[in-house]
Chain A
Amino acid sequence: MAETRTIEMEVLRYHPERDAAPRFQSYQVPFTPDMSVLQGLQYIKDHLDGSVTFRWSCRMAVCGSCGHMVNGVPQLSCHTFLRDYFPAKVRVEPLNHFPILRDLAIDQTDFLKKLESIKPYIIPAEDKPVESGEFLQTPAQLDRYYQFSQCINCLLCYAACPQYGLNSEFIGPGAMALLHRYNADSRDAGRAERMPLVNEEEGVWSCTLVGYCSEVCPKGVNPANAVNQNKVNSALDYFFRFLMPKGGKR
């Protein structure tokens, strides 16, 4: 039987009908060395206070639902262990830069709209019937976008981005990483449809290369790289219009 210790967990509480502003509430949580911060929250909900609200699903860093600020750092709480904080207390807050709906649950609407706007699907050059077979791709072509396709929409990068916090019009690291994932795919021909989003002030140009988004990404996507590679693409897109006949329009 693994050793059980007790850690103090501070959870940000906010009830939209009763509270004017969020407040912290402390819980004494017994834990074993294999318990994650998410399991600590689940212990609170099951044994101490059933009203604590938070999102979670897979418990294995795949679904991207349980992102929280753990001691001020954006983390997947299933991927963060209580033993690493003991004997100090661990403070769990909702992800920064998003409106709080209740306790640890944030409003993701803004991101979902942005995700939809970048057309996160392959737009082929021409319709190809299923009977004509699959699209072929070399390992080198796969390599160009693979890392960016690992995004699980957990929003840790948005919680890490002060520019998004200061101006939520900014498309943000996650949506731009996924936009780049499709633009860099050899099967995709939707680049011209997506470039206007990249070129806007609130596209790549709101990024000041803080770089923290890439530090906190639990899947190694490196969204800062996607945003900043697209600054080059956006500049080329701007200057090429002077070189192309009819400003590059077809």
Chain B
Amino acid sequence: MTVRKPYVRPMTEWWRRNPFFVRYMLRELTAPFVAVYAVILLIGLVSLSRGEAAYNVWLSALTHPASIVLHWLLLVTITYHAVTLWKVIPKTMPPVKLGGRALPENAITVCGCLATLVVSIVIFLLVGHL
């Protein structure tokens, strides 16, 4: 009988082996950007509670060129995060039944992305008119 000597292959740079894993790692990498934007909004909320002067300081800080660059970066990363998250969302929930048939995963992804887009546009218009 042959001697058993199982060989275990290393996992080094596993995420570079498959484009699917690269896209997954990018999704995970964009998560901190979502947190950064949440903190920016939270600071805005806190400064609003501290009165008009504090709120105006926050508003003027947002117009700084560095802030504009940061916000473009946030827009790109959060868009990628939103789209890729909607792609995996159908895998996290029980099947959605419509007329006895399960809704295809793509339909849920497309609806989610559209909802994100519509809500973003509505908020953009609301804020733009204020």
> B-contacting residues of A (Cβ < 8 Å)?
14, 16-17, 21-22, 72-73, 96, 99-102, 107, 162, 165-166, 208-212, 214-215, 222, 224-225, 228-229, 231
Asked whether A212 lies within 8 Å of B9 as measured between CB atoms, the reply is no
- From known contacts A16-B3, A17-B2, A166-B11, infer whether A212 and B92 are also in contact, taking CB-CB under 8 Å: no
Known: A73-B18, A162-B21, A215-B20. A209 touches B3 (CB 8 A): no
- Starting from the known contacts A16-B7, A100-B8, 18 additional A-B residue pairs (CB-CB under 8 Å) come to A16-B5, A17-B5, A22-B9, A96-B9, A101-B6, A107-B6, A162-B11, A162-B14, A162-B15, A166-B11, A209-B88, A209-B91, A210-B24, A211-B91, A212-B18, A212-B20, A212-B24, A224-B91
12 contacts across the A-B interface (CB closer than 8 A):
A16-B3, A208-B28, A209-B88, A209-B91, A211-B87, A211-B91, A212-B18, A225-B91, A225-B92, A228-B92, A229-B93, A231-B92
Interface status of B50 (Cβ within 8 A of chain A): no
A241 to B9 Cα, complex, angstroms = 42
Return chain B residues, CB-CB under 8 Å to A107.
6
B128 on interface, CB distance cutoff 8 Å: no
In-complex Cβ contact of B17 among A72, A209, A222 (8 A): A72
Question: What is the CA–CA distance of A198 and B91 in the complex, to the nearest angstrom?
Answer: 17
Chain B residues in the interface with A (C-beta under 8 A): 2-9, 11, 14-15, 17-18, 20-21, 24, 28, 87-88, 90-94
Whether A209 lies near B2 (C-beta < 8 A) is no
| Closest 6 pairs between A and B when the two form their complex, measured CB to CB | A99-B6, A16-B5, A228-B92, A224-B91, A100-B7, A225-B91
Chain A residues with CB under 8 Å of B3's CB are 16-17
A-B residue pair count with CB separations less than 8 angstroms? 67
CA distance A102 to B1 in the complex (A): 13
Q: What residues on A are CB-neighbors of B15 within 8 Å?
A: 162
Given contacts A99-B7, A99-B8, A100-B7, contact A72 B18 (CB under 8 A): yes
For A209, the chain B residues whose CB sits under 8 A away are 88, 91-92
- Expressed in whole angstroms, the minimum distance between the Cβ of A241 and any Cβ of chain B is 23
Q: Out of A16, A73, A210, name the residue touching B4 (CB < 8 Å).
A: A16
Nearest B-chain residue to A168, judged by Cβ: B8
Structural contact, A100 and B6, CB atoms closer than 8 A? yes
| Docked complex Cα distance between A210 and B18 (Å) | 12
Q: Taking A96-B9, A229-B94 as contacts, is the C-beta distance between A16 and B2 under 8 angstroms? A: yes
A214, B6: Cβ atoms closer than 8 Å? no
User: What is the bound-complex CA distance between A209 and B9, given in angstroms?
Assistant: 23
Q: Which residues of A contact B18 (CB under 8 A)?
A: 72-73, 212
CA distance A114 to B2 in the complex (A): 26
If A72-B17, A73-B18, A212-B21 touch, whether A14 touches B7 (CB-CB below 8 Å) is yes
Give the docked Cα–Cα distance between A101 and B1 (Å): 13
Cβ B21 vs Cβ A22 within 8 A: no
CB distance from B2 to the nearest CB of A (A): 6
| Residues in A neighbouring B94, C-beta threshold 8 A | 229
Q: Which B residue's beta carbon lies closest to that of A139?
A: B100
Closest chain-B Cβ to A205's Cβ sits at a distance in Å of 14
Closest to B28 in A: A208
Within the assembled complex, what's the spacing in Å between the Cα atoms of A21 and B6? 10
